[in-house]
Amino acid sequence: MSAAIVFDRVSAGYRGRAVLGDVNASIISGQVTGLVGPNGAGKTTLLRVALGLLDTTQGDVRVLDRNLREWPRDARARAIAYLPQGADAHWPVEAWKLVALGRMPHRAPFAPLSPEDAIAVDKALARCDAVQFVSRRMDELSAGERARVLLARALATQAPILLVDEPAAHLDPVHQLRLMELLREEAAQGAAVIVTLHDLALASRFCDEIVVLQSGHVVSQGVPDEALSDGVLAAAFGVTVLKASSLAQVRLPIIPWRRL
Partner 1 sequence: MDGALQQDKDRRFASRIVSRFSHASPITLVLVALAFALAAISFLIGPAHFGPRALFFGLFAPHDAATIVAREIRLPRALLALVVGAALGASGAALQGLFRNPLADPGVTGVTSSAGFGAVVAMYFGFAAVNPLVLPASAIAGALATSTILYFLSRSGAERTALILAGAAIASLATAMTALAMSLAPNPYAISEMVRWMMGSLKDCTLADLALATPPVALGIVLLLASARSLDALTLGEEAAQSLGVDVHAARRRVVVGVALATGAATAAAGAVSFVGLVVPHLLRPFYGYEPARLIWPSALGGAVLVSAADIAVRLIAPDGQLLVGVMTAMIGAPFFIWLILRIRRES
The least CB distance from residue 253 to partner 1, in Å, is 35
Q: What is the CA radius of gyration of the chain?
A: 19
Stretch that binds partner 1, among 62-70, 133-141, 198-206, 242-250 (CB under 8 A): 133-141
Q: Binders of partner 1 among 7-46, rule CB under 8 A? A: none
Stretch that binds partner 1, among 12-20, 116-124, 173-181, 229-237 (CB under 8 A): 116-124
Among 3, 18, 28, 131, binds partner 1 (CB under 8 A): 131
Among 34, 37, 84, 216, binds partner 1 (CB under 8 A): 84
Stretch that binds partner 1, among 7-15, 94-102, 213-221, 237-245 (CB under 8 A): 94-102
- The nearer residue to partner 1, 134 or 174, going by C-beta atoms, is 134
Q: Is 48 in the site for partner 1 (CB under 8 A)?
A: yes
Among 27, 83, 171, 182, binds partner 1 (CB under 8 A): 83
Residues 6+ apart with CB under 8 A from 198: 36, 166, 168, 169
Q: Is 89 in the site for partner 1 (CB under 8 A)?
A: yes
Q: Is 92 in the site for partner 1 (CB under 8 A)?
A: yes
Q: Is 175 in the site for partner 1 (CB under 8 A)?
A: no
Q: Is 73 in the site for partner 1 (CB under 8 A)?
A: yes
Q: Is 77 in the site for partner 1 (CB under 8 A)?
A: yes
- The nearer residue to partner 1, 2 or 85, going by C-beta atoms, is 85
Neighbours of 48 (CB within 10 A): 21
- Among candidates 224, 206, 196, which has minimal Cα distance to 50? 196
- The nearer residue to partner 1, 34 or 102, going by C-beta atoms, is 102
The least CB distance from residue 58 to partner 1, in Å, is 22
Spell out the SS3 assignment of the chain. Answer: CCEEEEEEEEEEEECCEEEEEEEEEEEECCCEEEEECCCCCCHHHHHHHHHCCCCCCEEEEEECCEEHHHCCHHHHHHHEEEECCCCCCCCCCEHHHHHHHHHHHHCCCCCCCCHHHHHHHHHHHHHCCCHHHCCCEHHHCCHHHHHHHHHHHHHHCCCCEEEEECCCCCCCHHHHHHHHHHHHHHHHCCCEEEEECCCHHHHHHHCCEEEEEECCEEEEEECHHHHCCHHHHHHHHCCCCCCHHHHHHCCCCCCCCCCC
Q: Give the residues lining the site for partner 1 (CB under 8 A).
A: 48, 51, 53, 73-74, 76-78, 80-84, 87-94, 96-98, 100-102, 104-105, 109-110, 112-113, 115, 118-119, 121-122, 126, 131, 134-135, 137, 150, 153, 157
